[in-house]
Amino acid sequence: MKKILLVALTGLTLIAPLAMARDDVADFSIADALSLEKAKTKLGTKVAFYFGDQAYGEPEQNFGVFQTNKKTNAFGKSDLTACQWVFLSAMISLRDRALTEGGNAVVDIKSNYKNNETSSTETFQCGAGGVIAGVALKGRVVTLN
């Protein structure tokens, strides 16, 4: 009985810091994340991406606004590394949605972390903690010339 109690108390001691884990929201460079070789390889060129109020041509078709909310393991990683990785995951999700809908672009892409919408042509928001990092994006899938 004492062993069970000791194991339970040890478990609670290890879990307690996670309950008070940090969740720092910070801005990271879109250009830096997209310039990584793994981003270029995984995203390909079939879908174009336009962030914030970047200019784009008149859409031929509009398929609607779609959201993605991705998380990744951040344990032992810098915030930058974890956030760039999860940003890529969110971008892949938007790309896949565009292809599924028949679009060739995602426009007006905005960060939407914890439903706090922010628009930028230069940065995305990422929530990073000791264990998990997350990025939420929303964008409109369209067909451009």
Q: What's the whole-number mean pLDDT along residues 119-142?
A: 97
Under a CB-based contact definition with an 8 Å cutoff, are residues 137 and 112 in contact? yes
- Rounded to the nearest integer, the mean pLDDT of the chain is 91
CA distance 51 to 55: 9
**What is the DSSP-derived secondary structure letter of residue 120?**
-
Question: pTM of this prediction?
Answer: 0.85
Under a CB-based contact definition with an 8 Å cutoff, are residues 138 and 65 in contact? yes
Domains of the chain with CATH codes: 22-143 (3.30.110.70)
Which pLDDT score is estimated for 81?
97
